[in-house]
Structure 1
Amino acid sequence: MEAANIRGAHRWKKKASLHTPRSALITVIVISSILLLFFYFRRFFVIPFELPLSRISSAFSTLRCGSSSREKFLWYAPHSGFSNQLAEFKNALLMAAILNRTLVVPPILDHHAVALGSCPKFRVLSPPDLRFAVWNHSVELLRNCRYVSMADIVDISVTVSGSAVSVVDFRDFVHEWCGVKPDHLCYRDQKAQPSLLQRLNECGSFLSGQYGNLDSCLYAVDEDCRTAVWIYQKDSEEGSLDSFQPDEKLKKKKEIAFVRRRRDVYKTLGPGSFPGSSKILAFGSLFTSLYKGSESHIDIHEAPNDKRIDSFIMKIKYLPFVPEILHAGKTFVDNRIKAPFLCAQLRLLDGQFKNHWRATFQELKHRLEYLKQTGPNSVHVFLMTDLPMSNWTGSYLGDISKDSRIKLFVLVKNDNLVTETAGSILNANHGMKFRSFSKRFIKVQENLKSQTLPDVLLYIEETICSCASLGFVGTTGSTIAEGIELMRKFDICKR
C-alpha cells in the first residue's frame, strides 16, 4: 500500500508538472486578451479626440517646471457651448485676479465637444478627465488649423489694461511648458510629427493632473460642483455645509457620498496655502448656475472688503465682442434691415429650445400680433435660427414667412458679411496681443493661409439682436438669450 501510495503521488506530481506550463500559458493568453479588449473598447467610452495616456517622465516635468519663469499660472477646463464657455471665462478671470495668477486663455471649443455632465444630479466628469479632454480637443483644433482664442472673439483689452489680472494665450503656454511650437502643428499638406504629438500627450497628461500633484510645480484642484462652492471673504461661512446637498433618494439610488462645503478660494488655494506655492494651479470646470437657491460651484458676486476685486467683478460682468463683430452686427442693422425690428432666437441646437419651444413660439406669436395691431404696416423681424429656410414649410416659421405684414431677415454662414468679418478677425489676431513674447515665440502670420476661417455667425447674430428696438423674444433658460439680454442692458448697439 505504501508503495502504491508513493507511485500514486508520483503520478499526480508528474501530471501536475505537465499541466502547470499549459495552465500558465492559458492564463497569459486570457490576461492578454482581456487587456487587448480593454484598450480596444476603451476608445468608445472616452471623450472624442483623446490621445492615449503615457507615463510622464520626471525628467520632462522637472525640465519644464525648472525652465519656466517665476510667474504663476491658472488654467481650467471649459466645456459645452459658447455661452457657457464665456461664463466660465469670466469666472476664470475672477479666480485669477483673486489668486494673483496669470490666466491661461483657452480656445473656443466646438459646440459640446466636451461635456461636464449634471451638477444637480452629482453626475459629472472628474476634474482630471475633464482637463485632459479639453487639452486633447485644444490640440485637435491646432492640428486642424481651426484654433480660435476666446480673446479673438471677446474683447478683454479693458479688463487686462488695469493690471487687475494678467493673461497668456494657451498657445504661448504650450510652448513655454511643453517645448512645442503650436504653429508647427498646423500644416495642411503634411501631418504633425509623431514626436511633437507624443510630447504634447505627455505634457497634457501632466498638466491635467492625471498623475497627481508635483511638488511646487503643479497643483491639480480635484474639488468640483459635487464637493465645493467657492466663496470669498465670507469668514462665517468657511467650511460650512452648502444649502444644496444630494437628497436621500439620490444617495441611495446612485450610492452618492458627496458633501458640498463652502470654501474660501483665497484661504484654500491662495498665497500661504500649500496649493498657493505651485507654479500651475489647474481647475476643472468653473461654470456655475443657480439651482434651488444655491450656486452650483462659485458664489462670489461682491467683495466689499476688497475694493480691487469688487471693482473687477463689476468690470467683467459684461465683456463685449471684439470691434470687428460689433461693427458687422451694426452694419447688418443699418444697411439691410434699415428700420426698427423685433429679434427672435429660435435655435434648435440650443439645449433649452427643445424644452421651451412651445412657450417661445407662443410668445413670438403674441408679440407679432401686438406689433401688427399697434406698429407700422410692415413689421421687420430678424430670426436668429439654425433651421434652413428650406425646412420652414409646415412650421410656424413657414406661416409667418407668408404673412404679407411681416418682413423677415436672416443671416447665413456663407454671407459675405460673415466671411469678411471672419477674415478680419483672423488677421487681427487679438488673442496674441497681450504678451510681449508672443511675437517672438509664434510666427502666426506664416500660418494664416493654412488657418480655417473662424465661425462667427452666432456672435454677429447676437449683436444684431442686441440692437432690436422692437424687443427680443428668447428661449427661456437659454444662456444665449441671457447673453443677448445682457448686451441689451448695456446698450451696446448705441455705443
Structure 2
Amino acid sequence: MSNCVYAVDEDCRTTVWTYQKDVEDGILDPFQPDDQLKKKKKISFVRRRRDVYRALGPGSEAESAKVLAFGTLFTAPYKGSESYIDIHEARKDPRIQSVMQKTEFLPFVPEILEAGKEFALQKIKAPFLCAQLRLLDGQFKNHWKGTFLVLKQKLESLKLNGPPPIHIFVMTDLPMSNWTGTYLGDLLKDSDAFKISVLRGDDNLIVETANKLMDIARGKNLESVSKRSYTVDNHCDPQSFTDILLYVEQTVCSCASLGFVGTTGSTIAETIELMRKYKACSG
C-alpha cells in the first residue's frame, strides 16, 4: 500500500511533539537532563520541540500518507516536561477533536475478536468475571494488597447473587507457578467456590490465531512513504507473538458478563473498559 504509512524517524527520546504553539520549530525543550542524570543514564542527547503540523503536515514528505507511525508516545509529565508529545491545546481545534472522537476506540482485527469470543463461549461456557491484575511491572509491584482487595470485594458481592462456583478469567503478568501464597493461589485452591480460567502463549487457540495472522501478513507488503518496506519474517515463531495473547485476553475480558476488575493506572485496563463500553464482544 504505497503512500499509506509514514514511519516517523525522529528519536522519541529527543523529540517533544507539539501542535501549533506559536514557537519556533526545533527549539530546545525546557527540560534537559542535568549532568547527574546524564552520567547516571549515560545520556548524550538534547531534547527539542517539533511542531507536528509543520514537520509532518502540508508540504512535508509525509503529506500524502494516511497514517503516521510513531515508535513510542507518552503524554505523562516528567520533571516539568511532557514526555515526547505535548498537543493538549489541539483539543480546541475542531478537526483534531473530530479525529480524537473517531479514533477513541479502534477494534482488533476479526481473527483476534473471534478467538476471544471462542474462548469465552466454548472454554469458559458460563457467565464470568474478568480480573486484569498487573502485579510485576514498575509501580504495580508495590500495590498487590490494594489490587487484590478490589477483586476480593467484587467476589464477595457476587457470592450474594448466585450459587457457586463463580467463574473468573484471570489476566495477569504473574506466572501461575508463583500464585502460591497469594490471593490468586487461595482462589485456585477453593475450587468449590471459584472456577479459574487463564490463557497461555502456547495454548492452541493463541498459536492458531497467530498462524492465521501470519498467513494474512505474508500476503501483504506494507511500504512506507520513506521508501522502507516492512515484510513479515517467514521464520517467525508464532508462539513468540506475546501481543496476540494480550489482545485475545483483552477480548475475553470484554465478554465478561459478571463484570470487570482492572488494575488502577493500567493502560490495559483502560483499553478493556473501552472495549466493554463499545460492546466489542457483541459485534
Report the equivalent of 1:332.
119
CA 1:352–1:478 in structure 2 vs 1: closer, same or farther (change >3 Å)?
Answer: farther
* SS state at 1:412 partner: coil
CA 1:406–1:297 in structure 2 vs 1: closer, same or farther (change >3 Å)?
Answer: same
Separation in 2 of the partners of 1:261 and 1:320?
A: 34
TM-score normalised according to structure 2 size: 0.72
The answer to whether the aligner puts 1:229 opposite 2:67 as a matched pair is no
Separation in 2 of the partners of 1:366 and 1:467?
A: 21
Instruction: For CA contacts below 8 A with separation 6 or more, give which structure has more relative contact order.
Output: 2
Q: Summarize the alignment of residues 187-266 of structure 1 with structure 2, pairs less than 5 Å apart.
A: 221=10, 224=12, 228-235=15-22, 245=31, 251=34, 253-254=36-37, 263-266=50-53
CA 1:395–1:257 in structure 2 vs 1: closer, same or farther (change >3 Å)?
Answer: closer
1:453 aligned partner, one-letter code: P
Report the equivalent of 2:212.
424
Structure 1 residue 239: Cα displacement: 6.6
Separation in 1 of the partners of 2:269 and 2:98?
A: 26
The answer to whether the aligner puts 1:289 opposite 2:75 as a matched pair is yes
Structure 1 residue 296: Cα displacement: 1.9
2:251 aligned partner, one-letter code: T
TM-score normalised according to structure 1 size: 0.44
The answer to whether the aligner puts 1:468 opposite 2:256 as a matched pair is yes
Report the equivalent of 1:167.
5
Report the equivalent of 2:267.
479
Report the equivalent of 1:380.
167
Instruction: After superposition, give the CA deviation of every residue in 1:104-145 in whole Å (9 maximum; x if it has no partner).
Output: xxxxxxxxxxxxxxxxxxxxxxxxxxxxxxxxxxxxxxxxxx
Q: Is the 1:382–1:408 Cα contact (8 Å) retained in structure 2?
A: yes
Structure 1 residue 478: Cα displacement: 2.4
Separation in 2 of the partners of 1:323 and 1:278?
A: 29
CA 1:244–1:492 in structure 2 vs 1: closer, same or farther (change >3 Å)?
Answer: farther
Structure 1 residue 283: Cα displacement: 9.2
Gaps of 5+ in 1: 1-70, 72-101, 103-165, 171-218, 436-440
Q: Is the 2:218–2:231 Cα contact (8 Å) retained in structure 1?
A: no
Separation in 2 of the partners of 1:392 and 1:409?
A: 14
Q: Identify which of 215, 223, 238 aligns with 1:453.
A: 238
Separation in 2 of the partners of 1:370 and 1:346?
A: 19
CA 1:472–1:243 in structure 2 vs 1: closer, same or farther (change >3 Å)?
Answer: farther
Q: How many residues align?
A: 263
Structure whose residues are more often helix by fraction: 1
Root mean square deviation, CA, Å: 4.1
Report the equivalent of 1:62.
none
Q: Summarize the alignment of residues 106-145 of structure 1 with structure 2, pairs less than 5 Å apart.
A: none
Q: Is the 2:135–2:143 Cα contact (8 Å) retained in structure 1?
A: no
1:355 aligned partner, one-letter code: N
2:198 aligned partner, one-letter code: V
Report the equivalent of 2:226.
none
* SS state at 2:238 partner: coil
CA 1:362–1:238 in structure 2 vs 1: closer, same or farther (change >3 Å)?
Answer: farther
The answer to whether the aligner puts 1:493 opposite 2:281 as a matched pair is yes
CA 1:243–1:485 in structure 2 vs 1: closer, same or farther (change >3 Å)?
Answer: farther
Report the equivalent of 1:86.
none
Structure 1 residue 376: Cα displacement: 4.2
Instruction: After superposition, give the CA deviation of every residue in 1:380-419 in whole Å (9 maximum; x if it has no partner).
Output: 1111134444443322212111222211111222322222
1:230 aligned partner, one-letter code: W
Q: Is the 2:222–2:230 Cα contact (8 Å) retained in structure 1?
A: no
Q: Is the 1:241–1:259 Cα contact (8 Å) retained in structure 2?
A: no
Q: Is the 1:232–1:303 Cα contact (8 Å) retained in structure 2?
A: no
The answer to whether the aligner puts 1:411 opposite 2:170 as a matched pair is no
Higher CA-based Rg: 1
Separation in 1 of the partners of 2:30 and 2:130?
A: 37
Q: Is the 1:233–1:305 Cα contact (8 Å) retained in structure 2?
A: no
* SS state at 1:344 partner: strand
Q: Is the 2:134–2:266 Cα contact (8 Å) retained in structure 1?
A: no
Report the equivalent of 2:103.
316
Q: Is the 2:130–2:259 Cα contact (8 Å) retained in structure 1?
A: yes
Separation in 2 of the partners of 1:425 and 1:460?
A: 13
Report the equivalent of 1:65.
none
Separation in 2 of the partners of 1:452 and 1:257?
A: 36
Q: Is the 1:233–1:303 Cα contact (8 Å) retained in structure 2?
A: no
Structure 1 residue 253: Cα displacement: 3.9
Separation in 2 of the partners of 1:283 and 1:316?
A: 15
2:238 aligned partner, one-letter code: L
CA 1:239–1:356 in structure 2 vs 1: closer, same or farther (change >3 Å)?
Answer: farther
Report the equivalent of 1:353.
140
Structure whose residues are more often strand by fraction: 2
Q: Is the 2:220–2:231 Cα contact (8 Å) retained in structure 1?
A: no
Separation in 1 of the partners of 2:137 and 2:219?
A: 27
Instruction: After superposition, give the CA deviation of every residue in 1:287-310 in whole Å (9 maximum; x if it has no partner).
Output: 112227864222336465563x54
CA 1:244–1:384 in structure 2 vs 1: closer, same or farther (change >3 Å)?
Answer: farther
Separation in 2 of the partners of 1:427 and 1:332?
A: 22
